[in-house]
Structures are given as structure tokens and as C-alpha cells.
Amino acid sequence: MSTDPVLASPPADCCLDCFPHEGTPKGTWENIAGVQTYVSVPPGGTSTKVIMYFPDVWGIDIFVNGQLLVDYFAQKGFTVLALDYFRGDSVQRHRKDRHDRTTNPNFDYDAWKKKHMAFADEHVPKWIGEVVKRYGDAKYAAVGYCFGAPYVMNALEKGSIFCAGAFAHPAFLSESHFFKCAKPLLLSCAETDHTFPAASRHRAEEILQEVKATYQVQLFSRVEHGFALRGDMSNPYQRWVKEESADAIIRWFNFYMSS
């Protein structure tokens, strides 16, 4: 029996559905610590407020939705870096949605997750170290979606250089992630989320209260896992939810990076 109960389960079939967003990405690609990284800076040039972005299973390599979100954060005054820990092997290269069995008929989703999590677990700390070497005395925040959530939580442990963190519709989280949370955390959540259901969300809140963490829970009705990154932008409510999630994260980071 596990001594560290799971609160957010691994990415599931719900993570394979996506509405493509329209726009032209403005960022550039750089190699940081051996990992291709999408970098976007504010209109006025590099900022001393740096966000490290940890992608969901759709990655960042060819995922316009993710690139546009990174660019949006940059437009609001942050230097933003998103690493491609899937190394050009994001899930959309194998599945276009949960019903797709033609793009890659032999795709083993569980093996794919295991392979890329092993790489990310090893390389994310090295990548963070290189980013900090590059930007020095800047202030740092971490944001993650689904697959990226545990790297945000690791970044919020006691003694880290991060000022604050945020995640939306998380995966791969256990109770220990919340017990170790020592920096301000924003949780952007869906009312319906099979990966992070209500009971898990409530337990996370209990733990954060117990350890006297600084946190905010943002909860949206009528949306599901993926709302902050993969929703239908032709639906006015889904568009508002996606934008409100992003704007809340921006406000959260601005507050804690200015102190």
C-alpha cells in the first residue's frame, strides 16, 4: 500500500482532446542544458521577471496553443521559457484526439508517459539550473499544465529560488507534493476533472491549510480537464475561462515577484 497517496493521477484519454487555437507564435528556439526551449520575451526586451513553463502532454514543439500562451505571458511583462522535455515526441504526433487510432496504431500511451517522465525527472533540475545561470538575480516563477504540475510543485519546496508557482488541471501529484509546498501556489481547476477530482482537490486544500501554505484555488464550472490550454475558443465561455485562468496566474506572479 502506498505511503504517499495519489491526488492527481497520470494523464488519461481526456488529455488527448484539443481544439487548435489560431495565431502566429512570436517566440524563438534555444538550446538550454541540452533541451530545446521555446523562449518569448516582452515587447520591450528581456524582463527580470522570469517564468519557467512546464508543458502538458501536447508539449511545446509544434503545439501552437502552448506557444501562444507562452507569448501571452511574455506580452504581460515576463521572460518565459518552455522546455521541450518530450524532445519532439509530443502526444499529438501519435494521437490527434482520444478516438484517433490511425496516426500511430501501435502507440503505447503508458510507455510514452513513462519514458518522457524519466527524462524530465532527470533533466528538469539541470535545465532550471542553466536558466538561473543565464538570468542571475532575476525573480522566478513556475507554471505547469497537466504533465508539468509536479515540476511546479518541486520548484515550490523550501529553499528554492522560486517566488511563486501555479498549475492548471494537474497530473502526477501525490500528497507529499502539497506537504512540501513552501511557496505561494495558485491552483486553477475544473469542476469536472477525472485526473484531479473534487475529493483530491479538497484533500490538497486540507494539506495546504495544515502546513499553513499560501495558496489560492480558482475553480471553474462547466469545463473539464484541459480548459486552460485546449478549450474551444469559438465558445465564448470557454474562451473567457481560458483567459481568466491565464490572467489570474499573471496577477499571482506579479504580486509575489514584486515583493
The catalytic residue positions are 146, 193, 225
Provide the grid cell at 48: 527580470
Residues 6+ apart with CB under 8 A from 49: 77, 78, 79, 138, 139, 141, 253, 254, 257
Match 501536447 to its residue by C-alpha cell: 58
* H/E run at residue 192: strand 185-192
User: CA-CA distance, 201 to 208, in Å (whole number)?
Assistant: 11
CA separation for the pair 221, 259 (Å, rounded): 32
- What's phi and psi for 97, nearest 5 deg? -165, 180
Paired with 143 in beta bridges are: 53, 166
Give the whole-angstrom CA distance, residue 220 versus residue 212. Answer: 24
228 phi, psi to nearest 5 deg: -80, -5
**31 phi and psi angles, rounded to 5 deg:** -95, 120
Q: Which residues contact 243 (CB under 8 A, 6 or more apart)?
A: none
Residue with cell 490572467: 247
Half-sphere exposure for 133 (CA within 13 Å, toward CB): 8
